[in-house]
Amino acid sequence: MLQVYLVRHGETEWNAARRIQGQSDSLLTANGEHQAALVGQRAKSLGITHIITSDLGRTRQTAAIIAQACSCPVTVDARLRELDMGVLETRYIDSLNGEEEAWRKQLVDGTPDGRIPQGESLSELAQRMRAALDSCLELPADSRPLLVSHGIALGCLVGTVLGLPAWAERRLRLRNCSLSRLDHQQSPWLASGWVVETAGDVSHLDAPALDELQR
């Protein structure tokens, strides 16, 4: 059985400011660096052998801190990037007008193939995230990889493993530096292939963490 751990990046300056990031970028806050150090200690105890990260700065920062804790190599996979949020990237959430907020809501309310203008659809996101996950099956036997990615991207991945469409209503909260685990296995009581073991675990953190909208 292959166990793959999933980590959302640490808190960024734009997370704290309620600003839309998408594939734009923002540095980790001091709190975000602290969160990454805590998840690094958790990763060390889990026997992580490989760290694979999105190519965006906030995930690479997070991955580097985790790698320092568990002495693992880091590789970059652009397929783990966050959803492209199109014309809304860099905008403050509270500044959106009614039409813009309706575009944003299409990403969370179950609108089939919802997307923001000039952005990426959730179906496109799901395809590249699943491809990145499946590539872990090519790692050497006894590997235990950890993927560092983003909130919408990881939520979409976990949802599709559960059999939901990529655009399903978003009901999984993945806070900064939360830890999830997917297993690839054969079981008489579960579907063959990828299954969800845990999602959104923050028990390793010592203070509440943010998601995209909740404080």
Binding residues: 8-15, 21-22, 58, 60, 82-85, 151-152
| Helix spans in the chain (H) | 13-16, 30-46, 57-70, 98-105, 122-134, 151-161
Q: Binding site for substrate, residues?
A: 8-15, 21-22, 58, 60, 82-85, 151-152
Place of tokens 């985790």: 66
CA distances from 74 to 54, 78, 104 (A): 10, 13, 33
Residue 114 structure tokens: 């919802």
208 CA to centre of own chain = 18
Assign residue 110 a region: left if phi > 0, alpha if psi is -120 to 50, beta otherwise?
left
Residue 170 is encoded by which pair of tokens?
């978003």
Q: How far apart are CA 122 and CA 167, in angstroms?
A: 6
The verdict on whether 82 is a catalytic residue reads yes
- Other beta carbons less than 10 A from residue 163's beta carbon: 8
Residue at 142: amino acid letter = D
Contact 112, 167 (CB under 8 A): yes
Name the residue among 211, 125, 119 with its Cα closest to residue 168: 125
- To the query of whether residue 184 is one of the catalytic residues in this protein, the response is no
Please tell me which residue in 50, 82, 89, 212 is annotated as part of the active site: 82
Enumerate the active-site residues.
9, 82
